[in-house]
A = this chain, B = another copy of it.
């Protein structure tokens, strides 16, 4: 069962740190909302109808032609997983926190490499997501399109000629698409210019969120920049607008880092190496502090102030140090303090081999 593999491994394809602009753009995500015609939206469904949706989607994803074109997709019912395992899927950004609030009659479809995931019976009947490393919105959209086209051969989507794809929440109607890029912006945070940047993007219909979506804090200087509007623009326009704005933010972050390197190198080096020293030696670490230190360290790696630590490891650790994965690793429940001690030990062990 691929889901069991997924929840036992903190790695996911998007963490490779290998895509374009991956020194600043950690990952790109595109998701589309789709609903089946003639079936009420999930919040109005009884269990029997919800099971019908799952059944219909299962048939669609098991289509051999789709598998040949877009890769093998496997469906699992959320009820088959433990609460900790469900949370790990959220922490890996494969499903939304909303999906696991209640897990009855809910399912997730995963491609083996975790690049494609489909949530069934979240806010909409289907939410198809593609998650790639670096700045690859266009590539993610192409993959989504492939899967979406394949599914549409079997499934009858709720679609209006006038409005486009119909969705449970009107803010998704139209393309039903949301695209986002996770950016690491420690330079702009450091020189206190980020607020200005975020104000500016809100004026062009974009929004910035924390690491775990709406309403979450920007842990570790990570920001998800996404489109707000799904209506009145084609998917291609949304993708190309967002890509253009993200490129601009990336170049601002780069300019800031260059200025920091030139004018305040001591200061940045101190910050980076302290983070390294603490991660390598601390015996108690909260996830908030660890994320802050990862951010400083990542900045150092990207500014070539320090080498030998792969960005991929830091991406994976962001998931591995979260409570769910720690509990999975330890094989037992832990208090917050016990987790902080276990987290520090885990990080020390990972950092043992480095000598920066």
Contact = CB atoms under 8 A, between A and B. Distances in A.
Contacts of A328: none
Interface string A245-280: 000000000000000000000110110011011111
A271 to B, nearest CB: 8
A341 B284 contact: no
Interface residues of A, number: 18
A270 B277 CA distance: 12
Given A273-B282, A277-B279, 9 more contacts: A266-B341, A269-B283, A270-B282, A270-B344, A274-B277, A274-B281, A274-B282, A277-B281, A278-B278
Interface of A: 266-267, 269-270, 273-274, 276-284, 337, 341, 344
Contacts of A270: 282-284, 344
A309 to B, nearest CB: 13
Contacts of A279: 277
A270 B267 CA distance: 24
A270 B285 CA distance: 9
A160 to B, nearest CB: 59
A267 B283 CA distance: 8
A119 to B, nearest CB: 39
Contacts of A273: 281-283
A279 B277 CA distance: 8
Nearest to A271: B283
A279 B273 CA distance: 10
A121 B273 CA distance: 48
25 contacts: A266-B283, A266-B284, A266-B341, A267-B284, A269-B283, A270-B282, A270-B283, A270-B284, A273-B281, A273-B282, A273-B283, A274-B277, A274-B278, A274-B281, A274-B282, A274-B283, A276-B281, A277-B277, A277-B278, A277-B279, A277-B280, A277-B281, A277-B282, A278-B278, A280-B281
